[in-house]
Each structure stands twice: as structure tokens, then as C-alpha cells.
Amino acid sequence: MPEAMIGVIGGSGLYGMEGLGDVEEVALTTPYGEPSDQFVLGTLAGKRVAFLPRHGRGHRLNPSEVPARANIHAFKQLGVQYLISVSAVGSLREEYAPGQVVIPDQIFDRTKGVRPATFFEGGVVAHVGFERPFCPLLCERLYEASQAAGATVHRGGTLVVMEGPAFSTIAESEENRRRGHALIGMTALPEAKLAREAEIAYATMAMVTDYDVWHPNHDAVTVDAVVAVLLANATLAQQIVAHAVTLIGDGFVSAAHSALATAILTDRTRIPAEARERLQLIAGRYL
């Protein structure tokens, strides 16, 4: 099995990575179905990196269709310990302008519960800590990498995750602003929760594409406008990732790496054999 310590999951507009050496494509299967696409593995700054387009090449999967459990399980199969999420988002703050980068530190869930959000079901119950949904140590490296790449970058703020695929109504956008949220997107959940259960350090590099629909001086969100900003910043996103890989270096210990240590409540003698087999990669050392 090929291995990579660092993973990158690319959102809208980021379907590949330049500058990779020793490139190979890997097709993986998981107990939760097929991932979004084949993985591209390559060497960047001396480190093996695994890249996956979240929506599949050609952008075939809407946010609710992204097979997040399969994606995270596949990253775990490859040995990934640090996962960088690149996501297109709308801004809910004047100072977070389109074309800029934000490294959020909190999530607010406004999805509808239609996406499977845990590996622990069918006879096994676990409650992971999620008070800090993004690994602070990885966030710091992404912030430093954004600065090194010359991006206008902001640190902190809450990312609201909505169901989609339609964009917000004005009422929803104004309510999210009233609550003090900073950004809105459609894909950080359940991805971040699943990464925590898989004991992978996870952080989001949010690429601002628009002002959602609240801003009186900006037109309503359109696909064409979002894509135009993303294409203009694709090179910047790849430069940030390259710097981040260097800053991650030989790795670091994150609290996420032991998230399951005290999370599993189920009596081990009552765990069904099928569940043990399904969870072997995710939680085998605790079962």
C-alpha cells in the first residue's frame, strides 16, 4: 500500500496539485463505499502527499453527495496524519473580501442530518471531543504558509456549514451575520468530525469567493463568479499548500491523534464482530 503523511482535499476549483514529483494514482476501496475519485500521490518538499478532489474530477458530486466517510477512511488507509482542507466559502464579514484566505477556528452546523457523520454505529458508540474542530497546530502552520505565499490572510472566525446545494437566502445570510459568524460553506461537515474520529489532524484553508448574499454593494452569488475567483487563486492555493507541507516537516503531535483514547463507551465484549472488522483501521487499537 502506498503511504503519505500529509493529505490535501481540494474543493471547488482545486482539482489537482502542481509541483508533485514521483506521481502515482491510487484507487482505494473502503467499508463505506468508493471515495470521491482516485488519489494522486506525489512528493512535495521531500514529503509524500496524497491529494483528493472532494467533488471528483469534473466536479461530479454535490456537497451532500460527497462520500466523506469513504474519503476519510481512504486517507487513513494511506497513513495520513495531517489533512489540509481547501474550501471555497462565502464571506459574512466586510473585512474578509473575495480573493482572500481565512483560517477558521470554529464550525457551526446548519446541515440537515442527511450526511453520515460518524464511523461509530451498528453496535459501537463513541463520543469524541470536538470543542476545537480544527487542529490549532495545523491552523497555525496554514496561517504561516498563507503569509509566506503572499496571501491576504485572516486567522480565526466561525465557519457555518449549510446543506446546499442552493446558495443562501437573504434571511439566512442576515441571520448568520447576526449570530457573529464569519464564513459560510457546504463541505467542512461531516468531514471535520470524521477526521477527528479517525485521529487525523484537520484544518481548513478557506478561499473566499463572494460575500454570500447579504452585501448591498455586491451581486447575488453565481457559479460563474465563484469559479472566476477560484481560478484566479488556484495557483495561490497550491503555493500555500506547498509552504504548509514544509512547515509540517517531520510532523508534530496533535491532540487529534489520540481523540479516541477515552471516547468509546461500548462494552468491548458486546461489540459485534462485523463492527470490529469495519472499525479495525479507525479504532482497532482501542477495541
Digit-coded pLDDT (tens) for 174-197: 999 999 999 999 999 999 999 999
- Closest alpha carbon to 144 in 155, 135, 134: 155
User: Which residue ranges are tagged as binding site for substrate?
Assistant: 186, 210-212
What sign does the CA torsion over 12, 13, 15, 18 have? negative
pLDDT score of 12: 52
Would residue 19 count as lying in a domain? Answer: yes
Would residue 57 count as lying in a domain? Answer: yes
Cβ neighbours of residue 189 closer than 8 Å, sequence gap 6 or more: 107, 109, 111, 115, 117, 161
Would residue 81 count as lying in a domain? Answer: yes
Would residue 73 count as lying in a domain? Answer: yes
Digit-coded pLDDT (tens) for 192-241: 999 999 999 999 999 999 999 988 877 676 776 666 767 777 888 989 99
Main-chain dihedrals φ then ψ at residue 97, nearest 5 degrees: -90, 155
pLDDT at 264 over 90: yes
pLDDT above 70: percentage of residues in the chain? 94
162 neighbors 183 (Cβ within 8 angstroms) = no
Return the bridge partners of 109, or none.
161
The one catalytic residue in 22, 105, 212, 224 is 212
User: Which residue ranges are tagged as binding site?
Assistant: 12, 54-55, 87-88, 186-187, 210-212
Would residue 135 count as lying in a domain? Answer: yes
Secondary structure letter of residue 33 according to DSSP? B
CA 78, CA 271: separation in Å to the nearest integer? Answer: 26
CATH code of 232's domain: 3.40.50.1580
Total tally of structural domains belonging to the chain: 1
Please compute the mean of the pLDDT values over residues 96-119 and round it to a whole number: 96
What sign does the CA torsion over 113, 61, 97, 236 have? positive
pLDDT at 113 over 70: yes
Domain coverage including residue 60 = 6-286
What is the chain's percent helix, strand, coil content, to nearest 5?
A: 30, 25, 45
pLDDT at 2 over 90: no
The reply to whether 267 belongs to the active site is no
Would residue 83 count as lying in a domain? Answer: yes
Would residue 1 count as lying in a domain? Answer: no
Q: Around Cβ 78, how many Cβ atoms within 10 Å?
A: 20
176: three-class secondary structure by DSSP? helix
The one catalytic residue in 22, 105, 109, 210 is 210
Q: State the pTM of this model.
A: 0.95
The reply to whether 212 belongs to the active site is yes
CA 188, CA 230: separation in Å to the nearest integer? Answer: 17
What sign does the CA torsion over 218, 216, 154, 6 have? negative
